[in-house]
Amino acid sequence: LAKTTQPISMDSYEGQEVNITCSHNNIATNDYITWYQQFPSQGPRFIIQGYKTKVTNEVASLFIPADRKSSTLSLPRVSLSDTAVYYCLVGETYNNNDMRFGAGTRLTVKP
Amino acid sequence: DGGITQSPKYLFRKEGQNVTLSCEQNLNHDAMYWYRQDPGQGLRLIYYSQIVNDFQKGDIAEGYSVSREKKESFPLTVTSAQKNPTAFYLCASSIDPPMNYEAFFGQGTRLTVV
């Protein structure tokens, strides 16, 4: 898996848009970018996955520039319940099963 | 409902004892994983299995053992050789090959050494 770098923590306020950037300078041609969310004392939950440009679902958007060396998870209008740790994973989706997580980004949403 | 189940939710172990954490999935996933999480830290990979009767060590396999006799089950044994086993343990499963790389996690087992 390509090594990823994320901010350790971020603070935001309710109703704001939050953007969490992940750096993955060594991303390979076949690598996808996947984000997970983890609440305290729970297992991580898949949020979104993408390969290039932009992906959007009901929870978040994922922006990937043309060089794919970074990606940005965008959470629109966050609420207190979005307080969690967010993990960025980068790896081949068809030839790699040793799924490893980094330290993640601890997002705190304040009232 | 399809899902992945870990049991027990809380487990207490005396020093020197082996304990086994259960992980069962009915998602028909080939790949299964065990992670350890310490307070305020990320997930660290202990073992993973891509197919029945086969498994590989992750980054912190020392003091742990696993088996994969059935597709649905991937139990983790924390042995007495694991010197600091108090942690939150998470099991996950995914399709193999993980074409969309979405893994599903259990609710975790919190192990405390007393």
Across residues B84-96, what is the average pLDDT?
91
Interface contact flag, B101 A99, Cβ < 8 Å: yes
Instruction: Report chain B's mean pLDDT, rounded to a whole number.
Output: 91
Residue B97 has a pLDDT of 56
Q: How far apart are CA A49 and CA B34, in angstroms?
A: 22
Q: How far is CA A53 from the centre of its chain?
A: 15
Closest residue on chain A to B99 (Cα): A93
Q: Determine the pLDDT at residue A101.
A: 84
Alpha-carbon A81 to chain mean position: 17
Q: How open is the CA angle A21-B41-A76, to the nearest 5 degrees?
A: 35
The confidence band for B99, taking pLDDT boundaries of 50, 70 and 90, is very low
**Does the CB of A67 have a partner CB in chain B at under 8 Å?**
no
* Residues of B whose CB is below 8 A from A46: 102-104
Percent of chain B past pLDDT 70, that is, above it, reads 93
CA dist A56 and A47 (Å) reads 10
pLDDT in tens, A15-42: 999 999 999 998 888 888 999 999 999 9
Secondary structure element (H or E) that encloses residue B46, with its range: strand B43-51
Shortest Cα distance, chain B CAs vs residue A56, angstroms: 15
Tens-level pLDDT at each residue, chain A (111 residues): 568 999 999 999 999 999 999 999 988 888 889 999 999 999 999 999 999 999 999 999 999 999 999 999 999 999 999 999 999 998 765 555 678 888 899 999 999
B82 vs A14, residue with greater confidence: A14
Secondary structure string (H, E, C) spanning chain B: CCCEEEECCEEEECCCCCEEEEEEECCCCCEEEEEEECCCCCEEEEEEEEECCEEEECCCCCCEEECCCECCECCEEECCCCCCCCEEEEEEEECCCCCCCCCEECCCEEEEEC
Contact B92, A98 (CB under 8 A): no
